[in-house]
A and B are shown apart, each in its own frame.
Chain A
C-alpha cells in the first residue's frame, strides 16, 4: 500500500486521555482530499515491533493542508495508542496510508442517524462537515462516561447547532435505542462508531426493528482485543508463528514477513479474511464482518481482530 510521509505539526491534550494530532505533509505539499468517515493507518516503528493503527480523520474533508486524528490512551491494549501518547512528539515523522473510506455516508439516505460512543466520535466530525455542506437532515447522538472526559463537546455544539444529543453515563443518561430507531422516517440510515457492545446493540436493535442491512453502517476502531498467546501455522508459507498476547494475529503475520491483505484493521471491511484449514479450540471472532453462521462454521477468520483459544490453528496463507 502506498504511504505518505507526514510530520507531526501539533499535539493537543483534549482530555486527560485523548490527544489530538495534527499531521502535515513532510515536504509541505497538499495531502489527498478525502470524504467524511475516512481513516488512515498510522505506522509506528517502536523498538522491536511495528504498530499499524487505524484512526479516523476528523478534520474538514476540504482541508488538504493538514490531517487531524485523535487517539485515546488505551492502557490495557497492545501499545499503539501508548506509543502515540508517550513517544510521538511535535516534529516527528510518521508514515500513513492514503485515506480509505469504509464508513461513508449513504448518498441515498433521506436522514442520517449518527451514534457515537466515546472516541468513536471522530469519524462523525468529518462527516458532519459533509452533511452540513449538502444540507442533509441528521441527528448526532453522542454517549460518553462523563462531561469531564468527553472530547469535542463544545466544538460539536457549535458545529451541529440543534442536531446534537449528549448522554453522560455518570449522570445516568443512556441512549434509548429502541425509542430512537423505531421512530425514524423511511429512507433513514443509521451509523454507529464506538465500543463493541454499543456497536452490537445498535446493529441488533436496528435489525430487530426491521431496518434493511443497507441502511445500517458501523465502524469500530477499538484496538484488537488482548488475548492468550497462541501459535498459528501458515500452510502455504510453511511457517509457524507465535502470536503474543498483546499483538493481533495480523500484526504477527506481518512481523514474520508474510504478505497479508488488510484495510480497516478493525474487523469491519473483510479484506483480511483468511481460510481456516484446521483448528482445535475454536475461534474467538471479534469482527463484525462474518455472519453468525459463518462464525459458527469456523471456516474463516479475520486476523486483524480475531484469535483462537486452542492450541492449533492452521491457515491457508
Chain B
C-alpha cells in the first residue's frame, strides 16, 4: 500500500496540475450523431437527455432504410423526450422505463440483425459503454458504434484495488462502493471495462484527503 501511495502522489500532481493541451489518449472522444449514408438499417439508442440527440438526428433527415429507436425515459437527469419522440418517430420507436429493459431489447434486436445495421447511441457515458458491452458478444467493435455524450458527465470508476465499478460518480474523489476506500478518479479510461481508473487517495497518510469537489456534474 505504501508503495502504491508513492506512485499515486506523482499521478496526482500530474493530473491535478494538468497542463493545458495535455490529452490522455485513452479518454474517449464523442461526436454528434449523424446518419451513416451507407447502411441497410439503423438502430438508435438513447436515454434521458440523449433523446435530444435523437431528435436532432431526425432533423437531419428521415433515412430511407428501416430505423428503430430504443429510448430509455430516465437517464441520470430527469428529462423525458418520449412525447416529442412519439411525434417525430412514428414507426419503430420503443420506449422503456429502465436501461436494463432497453439493453435486453437491444440484444434481442442484434440476434437477428445482419451486416449493414449501423448503431448510434446517445446518453451518459455509463450508458454508452453499457451499450458497447452489450454489443460486443455479437462481434460488434466499439468504434463501429457512433456515440454522443449527453446527459451527465458522471463517470463509472473502476477500483484498481477491489475491482468494483462505482457508477455515476460526479466528484474528483469518491468512496468505492465495494471496499469503501477513498478513490481518486483518474482520466485513464478502459474501453473494456467502460470505466475510469480509481486509485486510493490517502494510502500514504490515511484520512488526509484533498478537497472533494463535484467536477463531473
> Do B38 and A186 touch across chains, with their CB atoms under 8 A apart?
no
Binary interface encoding of chain A residues 176-201 relative to chain B, with 1 for a CB under 8 A from any of its CBs, else 0: 00000111111110000000000000
Contacting chain B: which of A25-33, A155-163, A207-215, A240-248?
A207-215
> Do B40 and A209 touch across chains, with their CB atoms under 8 A apart?
yes
B33 smallest CB distance to A (angstroms)? 16
Interface size on B, residues (CB 8 A): 17
Give complex CA distance A185, B111 in Å.
8
Assuming A209-B115, A210-B117, A211-B115, is B39 touching A186 (CB within 8 A)?
no
> Do A212 and B144 touch across chains, with their CB atoms under 8 A apart?
yes
B117 smallest CB distance to A (angstroms)? 7
- Residues in B whose Cβ lies below 8 Å from that of A215: 115
Contacting chain A: which of B45-53, B135-143, B197-205?
B135-143
B109 smallest CB distance to A (angstroms)? 10
A235 smallest CB distance to B (angstroms)? 34
- Residues in B whose Cβ lies below 8 Å from that of A184: 114-115
> Do A210 and B38 touch across chains, with their CB atoms under 8 A apart?
yes
Closest to B109 in A: A186
> Do B39 and A210 touch across chains, with their CB atoms under 8 A apart?
yes
- Residues in B whose Cβ lies below 8 Å from that of A312: none
- Residues in B whose Cβ lies below 8 Å from that of A110: 138-139
Assuming A184-B115, A207-B38, A209-B116, is B138 touching A214 (CB within 8 A)?
no
Assuming A182-B40, A186-B110, is B116 touching A210 (CB within 8 A)?
yes
Give complex CA distance A185, B36 in Å.
19
Closest to A209 in B: B116
Closest to A181 in B: B115
Assuming A108-B141, A110-B139, is B115 touching A185 (CB within 8 A)?
yes
B111 smallest CB distance to A (angstroms)? 9
Total A-B pairs, Cβ < 8 A: 52
> Do B138 and A210 touch across chains, with their CB atoms under 8 A apart?
no
- Residues in B whose Cβ lies below 8 Å from that of A186: 110, 113-115, 117, 138-140
B138 smallest CB distance to A (angstroms)? 5
Give complex CA distance A122, B38 in Å.
31
> Do A185 and B144 touch across chains, with their CB atoms under 8 A apart?
no
- Residues in B whose Cβ lies below 8 Å from that of A88: none
Q: Which of B36, B110, B139 contacts A210, CB < 8 Å?
A: B36
Is A109 among interface residues, defined by CB-CB distance under 8 A?
A: yes
> Do A185 and B141 touch across chains, with their CB atoms under 8 A apart?
no
Which A residues between 119 and 168 are near B, CB-CB below 8 angstroms?
none
Which B residues between 122 and 149 are near A, CB-CB below 8 angstroms?
138-141, 143-144
Assuming A209-B40, A210-B36, A210-B40, is B141 touching A182 (CB within 8 A)?
no
- Residues in B whose Cβ lies below 8 Å from that of A208: 38
Closest to A207 in B: B38
Is B186 among interface residues, defined by CB-CB distance under 8 A?
A: no
Give complex CA distance A133, B131 in Å.
32
> Do B143 and A214 touch across chains, with their CB atoms under 8 A apart?
yes
Binary interface encoding of chain A residues 208-235 relative to chain B, with 1 for a CB under 8 A from any of its CBs, else 0: 1111101100000000000000000000
Is B118 among interface residues, defined by CB-CB distance under 8 A?
A: yes
- Residues in A whose Cβ lies below 8 Å from that of B116: 182, 209-211
A247 smallest CB distance to B (angstroms)? 38
Assuming A182-B116, A210-B115, A210-B117, is B38 touching A187 (CB within 8 A)?
no
> Do A187 and B138 touch across chains, with their CB atoms under 8 A apart?
yes
> Do A187 and B114 touch across chains, with their CB atoms under 8 A apart?
no
Closest to A215 in B: B115
A241 smallest CB distance to B (angstroms)? 41
> Do A187 and B143 touch across chains, with their CB atoms under 8 A apart?
no
Binary interface encoding of chain A residues 68-104 relative to chain B, with 1 for a CB under 8 A from any of its CBs, else 0: 0000000000000000000000000000000000000
B114 smallest CB distance to A (angstroms)? 6
Instruction: With A185-B114, A207-B38 given, name 17 new contacts (CB 8 A).
Output: A109-B139, A183-B114, A184-B114, A186-B115, A186-B117, A186-B138, A186-B139, A187-B140, A188-B139, A209-B116, A210-B36, A210-B115, A210-B118, A211-B116, A214-B141, A214-B143, A215-B115
Between-chain CB contacts (< 8 Å), 27 pairs: A109-B139, A110-B138, A182-B114, A182-B116, A184-B115, A185-B114, A186-B110, A186-B114, A186-B139, A186-B140, A187-B138, A187-B140, A209-B38, A209-B40, A210-B38, A210-B39, A210-B40, A210-B115, A210-B116, A210-B117, A210-B118, A211-B116, A212-B141, A214-B141, A214-B143, A214-B144, A215-B115
Q: Which A residues form the contact surface with B (CB < 8 A)?
A: 108-110, 181-188, 207-212, 214-215
Q: Which B residues form the contact surface with A (CB < 8 A)?
A: 36, 38-40, 110, 113-118, 138-141, 143-144
